[in-house]
Chains A and B, each alone.
Chain A
Amino acid sequence: MFFHIKELQYNAKPTKPDPVYAKKLQEILGGQFGEISVMMQYLFMVGIAVQKTNTEICC
């Protein structure tokens, strides 16, 4: 399970709003190689690795 703390892993603030750049930044959040992809990929790999220790499939 996961616990959450309020502090960000690293906190930085922009000096001024920039909604056009916010749109660009979406790429490394929800894009093909964004953080959501690696987050989901690694956590699902954990699930399979745990399961594989009990039942070994062919390769």
Chain B
Amino acid sequence: MLLDIGTEEIAHVEMLATMIAQLLDGAPANDQEEAAKNPLIEAVLGGMNPQHAIVNGLGAQPNDSVGYPWTARYTIASGNLLADFRDNLNAESQGRLQAVRLYEMTEDPGVRDMLSFLIARDHMHQNQWMAAIEELEQTQGVTVPSTFNTEFEKQDVAFSFMNVSKGDESSTGRWASGPSLDDKAPLNISLALKRRDNILNSHQVHHIYMAPLRLI
């Protein structure tokens, strides 16, 4: 499946590069101003990326929307399939979110048609990664990495929720009580919570922390 989607993403790079070139091909004509007599100058004044014309001959570049070059640091491949597939799910989620926002930024039916395809594929890819994640979680467990002997973890904090903010609101969530999601132990609220409340409730510390907030 990795190869299936990976190969499909090559096709999406091709689709987007083609669409960008089509959008750049033939600058808009507008004769209202002197500068507008040169459509290229008008487009640059209107906010196009001048490098699209100067560097790329009205084609796409491997950069983002503000010209920052693509970097391999955007990617991760750790060899741990569960950690990696979770990142894949996030990548498809962020990617679909941005494609949907771009869909809302244009009314061109042709551009929307292409984006509706990419949005649909990102939808399916999220489903595929979710299914793969679920399969791995059922066989190896939900915590990454699953191979480390948990007895070597400091046991008294391994299932403790630590509330380090004022009040108890965050302690009421599912993450703070009930069985842990890896079904290894019941969750508990850390004893550090009580120590924290004692500190925050003391008048002296309260004064120190509140004073700078008033300045803002």
Q: Is the CB of A27 within 8 A of B65?
A: yes
Which residues on A sit within 8 Å (CB–CB) of B12?
9, 35, 39
* Cα distance, A20 to B3, chains bound together (Å): 34
Q: Is the CB–CB distance between A9 and B88 below 8 Å?
A: no
> Is the pair A41, B10 in contact by a Cβ cutoff of 8 Å?
no
Whether the pair B79, A8 counts as a contact (CB closer than 8 A) is no
Q: Which of A5-59 contact B (CB under 8 A)?
A: 8-49, 52, 57-59
Please report the total number of B residues contacting A with Cβ < 8 Å: 75
Q: How far is the CA of A16 from the CA of B109 in the complex (A)?
A: 10
Report if A22-B95 is in contact (Cβ < 8 Å); known contacts: A12-B111, A32-B74.
Answer: no
Report the minimum CB–CB distance from A42 to chain B (whole Å): 3
> Chain B's nearest CB lies how many Å from the CB of A52?
6
User: Is B75's CB under 8 angstroms from A40's CB?
Assistant: yes
Decide: A39 and B43 in contact? CB cutoff 8 A.
Answer: no
Q: Are A12 and B84 in contact (CB under 8 A)?
A: no
* Cβ–Cβ < 8 Å partners of B64 in chain A: 26-27, 30-32, 34
Q: Does B142 contact A (CB under 8 A)?
A: no
| B70 and A36 form a contact (CB under 8 A) | yes
The residue on B at minimum CB distance from A59 is B145
Q: Which of B7, B102, B110 contacts A28 (CB 8 A)?
A: B102
B15 beta carbon closer than 8 Å to chain A: yes
CA distance A12 to B103 in the complex (A): 14
**Chain B residues with CB under 8 A of A15:** 108-110
Chain A interface (Cβ within 8 Å of chain B)?
Answer: 2, 8-49, 52, 57-59
| Residue positions of B touching A, CB distance < 8 A | 2-3, 5-20, 22-28, 43, 46-49, 52-53, 60-65, 67-70, 72, 74-81, 84, 87-88, 91-92, 94-95, 98-99, 102, 105-106, 108-111, 113-114, 117-118, 145-148
Which 5 residue pairs spanning A and B have beta carbons closest together? A42-B6, A59-B145, A19-B48, A39-B9, A31-B64
